[in-house]
Amino acid sequence: MDTRKQQLLRRHRRGKRLFMVAALLVLVALDWFAGWNSLPVFLVLAWIAHEAWFADHLFYSPREDYRYAFPDSAPQLAGRLEKGRLQLDLAQLPAEADTLILAVQVRSTWLGRWLDPHVLIRDGQPCDRQDFERGVRGCRYLNLSGLLPALREGRVQLRGRFCRLGAEVSLYAFSNPDYAARRLMIIAPHADDAELAAFGLYSRSAEVSIVTLTQGEVEAQHYRRMGLDKAAAARLKGRLRSWSSLSVPLWGGVPASRCVQLGYYCLQLTAMRAEPHRAFPSLESGESDIRSVRRFNPLALPGDVDGMPSWHNLVGDLAALLKRFRPEVVVLPHPELDPHPDHIQASRALDEAVALAGWCPEVRLLYANHLYDNDRWPMGPVGAGVALPPRQQPLPADGLWSPLLDAGARLDKTQALAMQHDLQTPLPLKKRLRRLIQWLLVGRRWPEVGQDDFFRKAVRRHELFWVRRAGVRESRAD
């Protein structure tokens, strides 16, 4: 079954192909009847324009408001921007607030239709930049977490570049304990998900376990350059990513005795859940025994008995891990926000494992490494802050927690990503040309440490989690 994002992407590509065919017919007609004799030049220019300004996968109008519903426990402070300086009634600002989200109207200038509009944030000196869509016009949510002292001293200033900011603003303040001080379990559907979403968090935690659900063996075309056939390339990729899931956390201080690789197969969790007792082998590697990548696990699990890649075994494995590590806080993908089918099923598997184990974590911290509607979020350059993602329908009214990553944590996170084999695959020629064009014409920049876009998206001033307390019903929507 197609996910919503696959359907949107297919519709986007179909519309783009129809537009290109129509444009080509117009150019051919002009070239034939008007005698321009310049069709090749126009085609090249049209392709360059497409790569510079129309290649982003944006499945909504940038003129739409973002819509969020926050819990009543989060104070809302009305304020104003006076000559760029943020003015608030500080008496209403909780002393213990750690996560600060500012709702503001953003409207692009004419240049903001061609260059990335962004907001520059100062606390007496430049400290952050948060980007939005070209042509933006509507309500957006800036992340001011980490600026509480500057807010109290009236030092926070905002300036739009290629955009204008409305005068009326609203600040939402969230207060959280430091979840790094609790017993944590991070559920990563694939080998790099824990590092992308939560390296800064787990590298500060004294008691954390990391559970990776799948080998992530699909889409192994790069490894076929070594002379391997499709199945052998997938097996190698699965082994490498499984190794990364167990070894890379050591860079963040997590010992191998607290890292577990379950070895299920990528993109099969949805089918597994539909038929819980049936085995679902790999789509590409030809393997059907999950024990092939479990030999370095620190403990025996129920699925080790028969090695069957079934939903029944997955839930049993997670239940055993809940009873073993007894986490107070579980970190996993947001089931309503992150569209990857394996990410969606992670929450459902946890629900069933909690019922089976009889151990219920108090809090779920939910993250999104992918989005339905915008492949570039978080937008903007590496090291910038993480504004809230686009959302046209409100999510459940969860709290937010956005811990700050200092320069040292960002450097370590960069290197943790650089150790992930899947994030070191060279870009195809088309993407390299697109980046060159966007660098020249749009001014976009990418980090030097890695070509994969996750180096830009994940190494940020903040990490961002939605806070869901035990007992809040999970969404079942696909």
pLDDT digit string (tens) for 390-414?
Answer: 999 999 999 999 999 999 999 999 9
**What pLDDT, on the 0 to 100 scale, is given for residue 46?**
79
**What pLDDT, on the 0 to 100 scale, is given for residue 293?**
96
**19 confidence band (pLDDT: 50, 70, 90):** low
Task: Give yes or no for residue 477 having a pLDDT over 50.
Answer: no
Residue 18, both tokens = 């129809």
DSSP string of 262-290? Answer: EEEPTT-HHHHHHSTTS----SSS----G
**Hey, what amino acid is at 311?**
W
Using the Cα atoms of residue 349, residue 352, residue 356 and residue 362 in order, give the sign of their dihedral. Answer: positive
**Residue pair 349/333 in contact by the 8 Å Cβ criterion:** no
**What pLDDT, on the 0 to 100 scale, is given for residue 349?**
98
* Residues 159-214: tens digit of each pLDDT: 999 999 999 999 999 999 999 999 999 999 999 999 999 999 999 999 999 999 99
So what's the architecture of 183-370+406-459 in CATH?
3-Layer(aba) Sandwich (3.40)
Measured in residues, the chain has a length of 478
Percent of the chain with pLDDT over 90: 82
Residues 214-233 have a mean pLDDT of 95
DSSP H or E stretch at residue 354: helix 341-357
Q: How many whole angstroms from its chain centre is CA 223? A: 25
Give the DSSP letter of residue 264. Answer: E
Lowest-confidence pick of 180-194, 218-232, 325-339, 464-478 = 464-478
**What pLDDT, on the 0 to 100 scale, is given for residue 1?**
38
The interaxial angle of helices 341-357 and 311-325, nearest 10 deg, is 60
Residues 120-149 have a mean pLDDT of 96
At residue 100, the 3 state secondary structure works out as strand
Domain limits of the chain?
A: 4-54, 76-174, 183-370+406-459
Residues 221-243 have a mean pLDDT of 96
**Residue pair 467/401 in contact by the 8 Å Cβ criterion:** yes
Q: Of 64, 7, 328, whose CA–CA distance to 186 is shortest?
A: 328
Task: Give yes or no for residue 424 having a pLDDT over 70.
Answer: yes
Task: Give yes or no for residue 474 having a pLDDT over 60.
Answer: no
* Residues 285-298: tens digit of each pLDDT: 999 999 999 999 99
Task: Give yes or no for residue 475 having a pLDDT over 50.
Answer: no
CB neighbour list of residue 171: distance below 8 Å, 6 or more residues apart: 76, 77, 79, 88, 93, 100, 101, 102, 103, 144
* Residue whose token pair is 């430091």: 178
**Residue 107 vs residue 10, higher pLDDT:** 107
Q: Which CATH number fits domain 76-174: 2.60.120, 1.10.287, 2.30.30, 2.40.50?
A: 2.60.120
**What pLDDT, on the 0 to 100 scale, is given for residue 57?**
82
For residue 207, the tally of other CB atoms under 10 A from its CB is 16
Sheet holding 259-264, edge to edge: 259-264, 208-214, 184-188, 329-333, 363-367, 465-469, 399-401
**Hey, what amino acid is at 185?**
M
**Hey, what amino acid is at 236?**
L
Task: Give yes or no for residue 301 having a pLDDT over 90.
Answer: yes
**What pLDDT, on the 0 to 100 scale, is given for residue 90?**
84
Q: Of 261, 103, 240, 104, whose CA–CA distance to 173 is shortest?
A: 103
Task: Tell me the whole-structure pTM to 2 decimals.
Answer: 0.91
